[in-house]
Amino acid sequence: MKKLETQVAVIAAGPSGLAAAVQAAEDGAKVMVFEKSNVVGGAANMGMGPLGIGTRQQQQQMVDISVEKAFKMFMDYTHWRVDANLVRKYFGNSADTIAWLEDMGLEFAGAYKYFPKSEATWHIVAVNGGIGRNGGAIMNKTLMERAKELGVEFFMETPAKKILKDKDGKICGLIAVDKSGEEIEVSAKAVVVACGGAGDNPEMIKQRTGYTWREDLFSFAIPGLKGDGINMAAEVGAATTEMSMEMMYILPNSDFGPDCIPATFMQPNLLVNNFGKRFMNEEEMQNTTFTGNAIAIQRGKIAYSIIDTSILKGYKRNGLDVTNFVHHPENIDDFEQVVEDSIANNNPDVVKADTLEELAEKLGINVDTFVETVEEYNEMCESYDEVFFKDRRFMKPIKKGPFYAGTFRPGAYGTLGGIKINENAEVLDNEWKPVPGLYAAGTDTCTIYGDSYMFLLPGNTMGYCLNTGRFAGEGAAAYAQD
């Protein structure tokens, strides 16, 4: 068995592990990172940017958000059923973390909302000087380069498989396996766990959250996110926490296709469940957490967004009612063609019919209830949505065929929670005492949203990951050098 020695061993190189490694190295520790994949960045390579509160960008853009306002908003949202000290510390450090990233050379396009009712806390990483998808990958690369500059050693395709504890109950290293299959025993004073949860582990998702993957949950399954960190930490005495999914909603087979499909169906259109009934104020569809939750409690966990030809024409002529940076087609002129292609490819997400009755039949929902719902909705379009109080701007009658339906299902970015930590990212045991030398960060530990991801302050998970990563790195470096 190969042997290595370090002061701080970081398990995984997603944003939380990378932030921990950089912070620990800046604080003077010798650091090694063990990563399962052949690239750094984990799920964040698909993301656009982290939360920051009270940043330079917000000051320049005259964004009215402070740590106090965000904290109060957050604690109201979560009913104080989460660790207030951790939330306070995370928010309080978030502006410094944005500046810390800038000092490494990372550029942000600015601070943005995800949707109008949210706050402009989302610091989108600049892609070619502007806004593009996947700026998270640039952030991760910047962190890795900074880590290397500080002397951090990276062991890629070298997953950790066990954390080691000595006879006094102190963490003393880990066992990893290199790409040739050889085991490496790493002696370390402190270990940071940051393995990104269990988004790629359907059994653990089922067991810990109740969802059946690709049956009633169509989540991102970033390869390698198997819950290793949660299991390894539990083996050395970490208390486990509840786990939940970071909810959103999705057209499972079209979300990565041409943007005109998801963008058109994610408008505040008429949305019905499989009884053919409305179940929410569709204005809230911009909040993907709320909509994912609402769909997840319908029969069959399914919903249909309905438009007619007049609505489609209006969207083509005047643009979509709501846009975001994720799905933002320049126009939707080829909508009909993309629908035809999807139907020809047996894509169940999209249905087209000449009459409302035919649409209901094709969707397998009760024809009479659906037709009644549409009639009632059309009447309210002329007056007022007395059922769910949707803004009049979005009340558009469904009258002229052909009609189109998009099929939404619950989705998720990944799992949240698993390992209990305190506000210093120290891992706690069942007596709520720190396991000496063990730290954890990122989604493996993230229970601060309570039952539902807090999307009103966007950039929240990456923000949480980077900041708890820094807390873990700081704590681990101090402990290891003490």
Q: Kindly list the residues in this chain that would bind ligand FAD in the complex (CB under 6 A).
A: 11-17, 34-37, 42-44, 46-50, 159-160, 194-196, 220, 222, 224-225, 228, 413-414, 442-443, 459-463, 465
Considering beta carbons, is residue 43 or 302 the nearer one to ligand FAD? 43
Indicate the residue type of 325: F
- State how beta strands 183-187 and 2-5 pair: parallel
Backbone angles phi, psi at 178, to 5 degrees: -80, 180
- CB of residue 85 vs ligand FAD: minimum separation in angstroms? 20
Helix (H, G, I), strand (E, B) or coil at 284: helix
Indicate the residue type of 337: Q
- CB of residue 359 vs ligand FAD: minimum separation in angstroms? 31
Helix (H, G, I), strand (E, B) or coil at 403: strand
Burial of 371 (0-12, 13-18, 19+ CB in 10 A): middle
**Sheet order of strands, 426-428 included:** 153-155, 31-34, 8-11, 190-193, 434-440, 426-428
Considering beta carbons, is residue 144 or 351 the nearer one to ligand FAD? 144
Considering beta carbons, is residue 261 or 311 the nearer one to ligand FAD? 261
- CB of residue 427 vs ligand FAD: minimum separation in angstroms? 14
- CB of residue 336 vs ligand FAD: minimum separation in angstroms? 28
Considering beta carbons, is residue 249 or 377 the nearer one to ligand FAD? 249
Considering beta carbons, is residue 34 or 108 the nearer one to ligand FAD? 34
- CB of residue 15 vs ligand FAD: minimum separation in angstroms? 5
Is there a contact between 120 and 111 (Cβ–Cβ < 8 Å)? yes
Report the distance separating Cα 474 and Cα 482, nearest Å.
12
- CB of residue 357 vs ligand FAD: minimum separation in angstroms? 38
Report the distance separating Cα 294 and Cα 273, nearest Å.
10
Q: Which of 277, 68, 43, 219 is nearest to 137 (CA)?
A: 43
Considering beta carbons, is residue 195 or 351 the nearer one to ligand FAD? 195
Q: Which of 414, 412, 326 is nearest to 14 (CA)?
A: 414
- CB of residue 166 vs ligand FAD: minimum separation in angstroms? 21
Considering beta carbons, is residue 227 or 406 the nearer one to ligand FAD? 227
Residue with tokens 């169906």: 265
- CB of residue 250 vs ligand FAD: minimum separation in angstroms? 10
Considering beta carbons, is residue 50 or 276 the nearer one to ligand FAD? 50
Considering beta carbons, is residue 365 or 462 the nearer one to ligand FAD? 462
Q: Which of 188, 201, 233 is nearest to 34 (CA)?
A: 188
Other CB atoms closer than 10 Å to residue 221's CB: what's the count? Answer: 18
- CB of residue 19 vs ligand FAD: minimum separation in angstroms? 8
Maximum Cα–Cα distance for the chain, whole Å? Answer: 75
Considering beta carbons, is residue 34 or 449 the nearer one to ligand FAD? 34
Is there a contact between 406 and 250 (Cβ–Cβ < 8 Å)? no
- CB of residue 55 vs ligand FAD: minimum separation in angstroms? 15
Indicate the residue type of 425: A
The C-alpha angle 52, 56, 59, rounded to 5 degrees, equals 100
Token pair in block for residue 472: 């873990």
Token pair in block for residue 91: 């928010």
